[in-house]
Amino acid sequence: MSTETKITCPCGSGKALEDCCKPYHEGTVDAPTAEALMRSRYAAFVLDLPEYIWKTWHESTRPELELLGGLALKWIDLKIVSTEAGENDDQQGKVHFIASFVGGNKGKKLDETSDFIKEDGLWYYVDGESSTSDISRNDSCPCGSGLKFKRCCLK
C-alpha cells in the first residue's frame, strides 16, 4: 500500500495536481477548454512556472519572459465566476474569475474577465479586463479556512 500523499491542484478543481494541471504544465496533454487553460495558468503562477505562462500567452500580446509579473505573489484562491464559449469546438472563449493573493503584506482580489483564442488546436490567453480590490484583515480568508484573513493566509 502506497503512503504517498497526493498534492491537491492549486487551480481549485479539488483533483490531485498530477491528475489535473500537471500534464498541461509538462506538455503531455493540451488544455481542452479555455477554462482548463485558465486554471492551469493560475496553477502555474502558484507553482512558479513562468515558461508555461509565457508559452500559453498569445504571441500578439505576450510580454517578454523576463517581464512576467505576479510570480512573487502568494496566490491563495481561485474562483471561476463564469465562462462564455471556450469549449473544445469553439475558437474563442471568455473566463471571468477572481483570484486572491498576498503581496507586500496586503491581501488583494484580482477580478478579471480573460479572453482566450484557439489556434491550430491550442488555447491561448490573449488579454483581459481586470480590477483589484483589498481584502480586509478581518474578512474571512478567501482560502475557505473559516478563519479571519489576518489569522490565516496573511500570516
Burial of 138 (0-12, 13-18, 19+ CB in 10 A): exposed
Which CATH number belongs to the domain containing residue 95 in this structure?
A: 3.10.450.50
* Any domain includes 9: no
Boundaries of domain holding 91 = 17-151
Question: What's the total number of domains in the chain?
Answer: 1
Confidence class for position 4, pLDDT limits 50, 70, 90: low
* Any domain includes 10: no
* Any domain includes 63: yes
Q: How many residues does the chain have?
A: 155
Q: What is the pLDDT of residues 18-27, one digit of tens each?
A: 999 999 999 9
* Any domain includes 133: yes
* Any domain includes 121: yes
State the average pLDDT for the chain: 94
Q: What is the pLDDT of residues 104-120, one digit of tens each?
A: 899 999 999 999 999 99
Phi/psi-derived region of residue 82, left when phi > 0, alpha when psi is between -120 and 50, beta in every other case: beta
* Any domain includes 12: no
Q: Is the pLDDT of residue 3 over 90?
A: no
Q: What is the pLDDT of residues 45-66, one digit of tens each?
A: 999 999 999 999 999 999 998 8
